[in-house]
Amino acid sequence: MTTLRKTAPYFVRCIKPNPTKAPRNFVDEYVRPQLRCGGLIEALRIIKLGFPTRCLYTRVNEIFNSILKDKQVTNLNLRDFTEGIMRYCGNEKDKLGRDEYQLGLSMVFFRPGKQTFLTDILEKKPSEITKQQVTDIRKWLIKKRVFRARGTIRAWIRTRNMLNEMRFKKAAITMVLIYRTLGRVLNRARWALGNAKEAEEMQRRSKDLEFQKALAAARELKILQEQKEKMDKELAQKKRSLQEDPRREGWRN
Q: pLDDT tens digits, residue range 2-32?
A: 777 766 666 777 888 888 888 888 888 888 8
Whether residue 9 is contained in a domain is answered as yes
pLDDT of residue 95: 74
pLDDT of residue 33: 87
CA dist 247 → 234, 238, 243, 244, 253 (Å): 21, 15, 10, 9, 9
Whether residue 210 is contained in a domain is answered as no
Find the length of the chain. 253
CB neighbours of 152 closer than 8 A, spacing ≥ 6?
none
Q: How far apart are CA 82 and CA 93, in angstroms?
A: 19
pLDDT digits (tens, 9 = 90+) for 70-84: 777 778 888 888 888
Whether residue 31 is contained in a domain is answered as yes
pLDDT of residue 252: 47
The domain of 12 spans 1-49
**pTM of this structure:** 0.49
Backbone angles phi, psi at 110, to 5 degrees: -120, 155
Q: Which of 104, 86, 103 is nearest to 95 (CA)?
A: 86
Whether residue 220 is contained in a domain is answered as no
The number of distinct structural domains making up the chain is 1
Whether residue 3 is contained in a domain is answered as yes
Q: How far apart are CA 165 and CA 163, in angstroms?
A: 5
pLDDT digits (tens, 9 = 90+) for 197-226: 777 888 888 888 888 888 888 888 888 888
Whether residue 104 is contained in a domain is answered as no
Whether residue 37 is contained in a domain is answered as yes
Whether residue 20 is contained in a domain is answered as yes
What is the average pLDDT across 59-67?
85
